[in-house]
Amino acid sequence: MVADRIEREIVIAAARERVWEVLTRTEFPATRIEQAEPPATLTLRRTPDEPATLIEFTLTPEPGGHTRLRVVERGPAGLPQDDADWTQRLTELACRTERLTRPTTRRATDS
């Protein structure tokens, strides 16, 4: 199946501001920032060497201090709908964010 858009989303166990922080520090090769509205939306455009696509991230607060991160990549017809790349990227981003959000436990040491 081919289409002009790919859509994926994931709920991350972290506040929207934390997800924004990790998202904006993540490298997306061959892209440039088109628009940013912290901490709600980030839009990237693929550079000329790649297919001309627009990538939109939307961060929505969810109950319990979680965040729904949705990515929509729009471009010319022919974007593969079985694209596992975005699923993998979102899962990795969620893992990095949740690791940063977990409270650290310090071990007592003998003085």
Say if 86 falls within a structural domain: no
Q: Is 82 within the bounds of a domain?
A: no
Contacts of 80 (CB under 8 A, 6+ apart): 2, 6
- Structural domains counted in the chain: 1
Nearest to 63 by CA among 21, 19, 97, 13: 13
Residue 12 has pLDDT above 50, yes or no: yes
What pLDDT, in 10s, does the model give residues 66-98?
999 999 998 876 666 556 788 899 999 999 999
CATH of the domain at 52: 3.30.530.20
CB burial string 42-68: b at 16+ within 10 A, e below: bbbbbeeeeeebbbbbebeeeeeebbe
- The answer as to whether 49 is a domain residue is yes
Distance CA 99, CA 93 (A): 10
Under DSSP, is residue 53 helix (H, G, I), strand (E, B) or coil? coil
In a domain, 34, yes or no: yes
The reply to whether 39 falls in a domain is yes
What's the pTM?
0.82
Q: Does residue 93 form part of some domain?
A: no
